């Protein structure tokens, strides 16, 4: 186990979360490690930035605070130490506090002994668990974001595993008005709209028929998808000038077309440079929707201008910023499981043996 997994001195008043189960790809991420691409260091950070920020803003804290990124392998933790406010948001995952079901985007208080679990639900590949004060792991080059390939950031630069103890920064006592809430976040809901793409910078490396095929066809996400890149399958996109270029910088959402003529879209853990022509870039407003795809799911693309891409990004940022005003008092879902967990009956009487007031004055 990591030295960080069990701190030598523990503040009993500090919130702590014990990992009980962690599926593949569960890591600690903050807003990302920026300013080092020129030195070959990837930014890392969340795959779905809007969901990540939504979870943090629901706790009324820095929207780049370190949180837990969870994939559809699932996750479970135990609250230790002090009571801890947490919030989660992302794909349509199934969340439970102990045995009680929770909405896929929620803010709740965990008390010592409470268990919180997440598993893949109706849609989505990623969800984010934010903790009040943020996860307090040592920063690396100014960020706590985990990049597993370079063993940097997070908890020893690796994926989380059972037994890890995650410390959070103690925060000021919460206002008594702070309440458990469901988060209304329509910007995180699944929709079938095409993913928007800004062409370039090497769109002239492709034939007109190739570009037409890309924008007129359906592509499916293959199992070769991870935090570094999403590989798609569909109609081939012919090159007009070969598939090699002088390596240049890679931005989030870059759509590379290599020798197999199939799209490869670079994601959060992308390499800093690449030597294949880039047809275009999935815009920032849609990168979260792309990230939330599961293998086998289909998507389409449509071309937009830089101005349209910028306007779309500002719209999503404005929506996410409204998170604190979109919190609604959490009410338990009236499922059969919930009802069975409530003590609706505190006893019974036998009316024949002990008629009491029910049959008084009646012919027995």
Contacts of 208 (CB under 8 A, 6+ apart): none
Give Cα 201 distance to the centre of its chain.
Answer: 29
CB 195 within 8 A of CB 299: yes
pLDDT above 50 (res 18): yes
Asked if pLDDT for residue 169 goes beyond 90, the answer is no
Q: Report the C-alpha gap between 214 and 154 in whole angstroms.
A: 37
Same domain? For 314 and 255 the reply is yes
pLDDT tens digits, residue range 30-89?
999 999 988 999 999 999 999 999 999 999 999 999 999 999 999 999 999 889 999 999
Query: Do 129 and 54 fall within a single domain?
Result: yes
Q: Is residue 73 part of a domain?
A: yes
- Which band of pLDDT confidence, cut at 50, 70 and 90, is reported for residue 178? confident
- Give yes or no: residues 134 and 205 share one domain: no
Q: How far apart are CA 285 and CA 307, in angstroms?
A: 12
- Give the pLDDT band (50/70/90) at residue 168: confident
Residue 173, number of CB atoms within 10 A of its CB = 7
Answer yes or no: do 7 and 128 share one domain: yes
Tokens of 265: 């879209």
343 domain-assigned: no
pLDDT at 13 over 70: no
Last residue of a domain, one of 167, 189, 211: 189
With a cut of 90, say whether residue 183 has pLDDT above it: yes
Question: Where residue 217 sits, what CATH number does that domain have?
Answer: 2.40.100.10
- Angle in degrees, CA 47, 332, 327, rounded to 5: 50
Residue 346 pLDDT greater than 70, yes or no: no
Domain end among 144, 172, 189: 189
Clarify whether residues 200 and 177 are in a common domain: no
Q: Are residues 222 and 177 in the same domain?
A: no
- The pLDDT tens digits for 247-297 are 999 999 999 999 999 999 999 999 999 999 999 999 999 999 999 999 999
- Determine, yes or no, domain membership for 173: yes
Whether 208 and 89 map to the same domain: the answer is no
Statement to judge: residues 144 and 224 lie in one domain = no
Residue 111 lies inside a defined structural domain of this protein: yes
Clarify whether residues 231 and 103 are in a common domain. no
Residue 337 counted as domain residue? no
Pair 184, 36 in one domain: yes
Domain identity same for 256 and 288? yes
**Average pLDDT for residues 18-29, to the nearest whole number?**
97
Residue 58: partners with Cβ closer than 8 Å, 6 or more residues away: 87, 89, 105, 107, 130, 181, 183, 323, 324, 327
pLDDT of residue 114: 97
Task: Tell which of 189, 214, 248 closes a domain.
Answer: 189
Examine residue 331 and state whether it is found in any structural domain, yes or no: no
Domain that holds residue 236: 195-320
- Structural domains counted in the chain: 2
**Domain membership flag for residue 305:** yes
Q: Do 177 and 210 fall within a single domain?
A: no
Give me 22's structure tokens.
Answer: 């962690």
Percent of the chain with pLDDT over 90: 80
Question: If you average pLDDT over residues 171-190, what whole number do you get?
Answer: 86
Is residue 357 included in any domain, yes or no? no
Query: What percent of the chain shows pLDDT beyond 70?
Result: 86
pLDDT band at 2 (very low <50, low <70, confident <90, very high): very low
pLDDT of 127 reads: 98
Q: pLDDT tens for residues 144-162?
A: 999 999 999 999 999 999 9
Q: Which of 90, 49, 108, 114 is nearest to 327 (CA)?
A: 108
* Contact criterion met (CB below 8 Å) for 155 and 28: yes
Q: So what's the pLDDT on residue 340?
A: 60
| HEC sequence for the chain | CCHHHCCCCCCCCCEEEEEEEECCCCEEECCCCCCCHHHCCCCCCCCCHHHHHHHHHCCCCCCCCCEEEEECCCEEEEEEECCEEEEEEECCCEEEECCEEECCCEEEEECCCCEEEEECCCCCCEEEEEECCCECCCCECCECCCEHHHCECCECCECCCCCCEEEECCCCCCCCCCCCEEECCHHHCCCCCCEEEEECCCHHHECHHHHHHHHHCCEEEEEEECCCEEEEECCCCCECCCCCCCCEECCCCEEEECCCCCEEEECCCCCCEECCCEEEEECHHHHHHHHCCCCCCEECEEECCHHHHHHHHHHHHHHHHCHHHHEEECCCCCCHHHHHCCCCCCCCCCCCCCCHHHCCCCCC
Tell me the average pLDDT across 179-197: 96
């Amino acid at each position: 186990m990591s030295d960080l997994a069990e701190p030598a001195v523990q503040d009993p008043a500090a919130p702590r979360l014990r990992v009980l189960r962690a599926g593949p790809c569960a890591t600690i991420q903050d807003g990302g490690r920026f300013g080092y691409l020129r030195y070959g260091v990837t930014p890392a950070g969340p795959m779905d930035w809007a969901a990540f920020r939504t979870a943090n803003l629901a706790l009324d804290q820095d929207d780049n605070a370190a949180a837990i990124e969870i994939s559809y392998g699932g996750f479970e933790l135990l609250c230790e130490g002090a009571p801890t406010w947490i919030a989660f948001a992302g794909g349509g995952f199934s969340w439970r506090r102990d045995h009680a079901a929770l909405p896929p985007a929620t803010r709740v208080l965990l008390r010592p002994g409470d268990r919180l679990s997440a598993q893949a639900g109706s849609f989505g590949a990623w969800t984010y668990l934010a903790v009040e004060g943020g996860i307090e792991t040592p920063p690396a080059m100014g960020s706590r974001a985990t990049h597993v390939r370079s063993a940097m950031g997070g908890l020893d630069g690796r994926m989380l595993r059972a037994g890890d103890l995650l410390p959070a920064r103690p925060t000021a006592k919460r206002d008594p008005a702070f309440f458990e809430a469901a988060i209304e976040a329509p910007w995180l809901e699944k929709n079938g709209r095409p993913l928007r793409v800004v062409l370039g910078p090497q769109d002239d490396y492709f034939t007109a028929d190739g570009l037409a095929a890309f924008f007129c066809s359906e592509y499916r996400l293959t199992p070769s998808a991870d935090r570094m890149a999403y590989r798609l399958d569909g109609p081939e996109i012919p090159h007009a000038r070969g598939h090699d270029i002088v390596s240049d910088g890679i931005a989030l959402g870059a759509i590379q077309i290599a020798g197999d003529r199939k799209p490869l879209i670079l994601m959060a853990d992308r390499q800093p440079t690449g030597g294949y022509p880039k047809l275009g870039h999935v815009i920032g407003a849609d990168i979260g929707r792309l990230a939330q795809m599961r293998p086998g799911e289909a998507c389409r693309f449509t071309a937009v201008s830089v101005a349209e891409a910028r306007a779309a990004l500002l719209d999503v940022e404005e929506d996410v910023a409204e998170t604190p005003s979109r919190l609604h008092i959490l009410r338990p879902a009236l499922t059969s499981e919930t009802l069975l967990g409530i003590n609706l009956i505190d006893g019974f009487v036998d009316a024949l043996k002990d008629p009491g007031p029910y049959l008084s004055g009646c012919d027995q």
